[in-house]
């Protein structure tokens, strides 16, 4: 999985922007792409395509996942949560977490950033 490395600094992120990024990542092998970055906040699209595993590591920032499309399971510190379109899940900073049981899963990721660098915990 490889992201494009693009970072957009926008005042507003539109549905069209998010859909376009999601389609581009789905057409490849998935990955993560930032659609908005500002002090204290990062919003990105994370697409997982089976059989590629979720390789992310715990992050230093709190995050919220919003499922845009697909089904799967999110495991946070050993507790499992079923995922479907529209599901919203909070993951605290430092928590071990991973997506499993998906064929195709697209999520909007919102990080409350403590640093001003692109998010390294997603492995990109």
Q: What's the rounded Cα separation, in Å, for the pair 103 and 101? A: 7
For 21, 28, 67, 114, the CA distances from 70, given in Å and listed in that order, are: 16, 16, 7, 30
Q: What is the pTM of this model?
A: 0.82
The continuous run of DSSP H or E covering 15 comes out as helix 15-27
Specify the pLDDT at position 124: 40
Which residue ranges of the chain lie beneath pLDDT 50? 1-5, 7-10, 116, 123-124
Domain 15-122 grouped into CATH 2.60.120.10:
yes
Which has the closest alpha carbon to 55: 124, 123, 101? Answer: 123
Number of Cβ atoms within 10 Å of the Cβ of 109: 21
Domain-by-domain residue ranges, the chain?
Answer: 15-122
């Amino acid at each position: 999985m490889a992201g494009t490395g693009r970072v957009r600094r926008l005042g507003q992120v539109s549905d069209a922007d998010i859909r376009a990024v999601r389609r581009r990542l789905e057409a490849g092998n998935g990955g993560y792409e930032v659609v908005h970055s500002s002090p204290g906040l990062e919003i990105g699209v994370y697409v997982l395509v089976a059989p590629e595993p979720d390789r992310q590591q715990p992050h230093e920032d709190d995050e919220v996942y919003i499922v845009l499309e697909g089904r799967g399971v999110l495991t946070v510190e050993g507790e499992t949560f079923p995922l479907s379109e529209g599901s919203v899940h909070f993951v605290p900073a430092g928590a071990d977490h991973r997506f499993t049981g998906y064929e195709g899963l697209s999520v909007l990721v919102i990080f409350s950033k403590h640093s001003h660098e692109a998010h390294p915990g997603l492995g990109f």
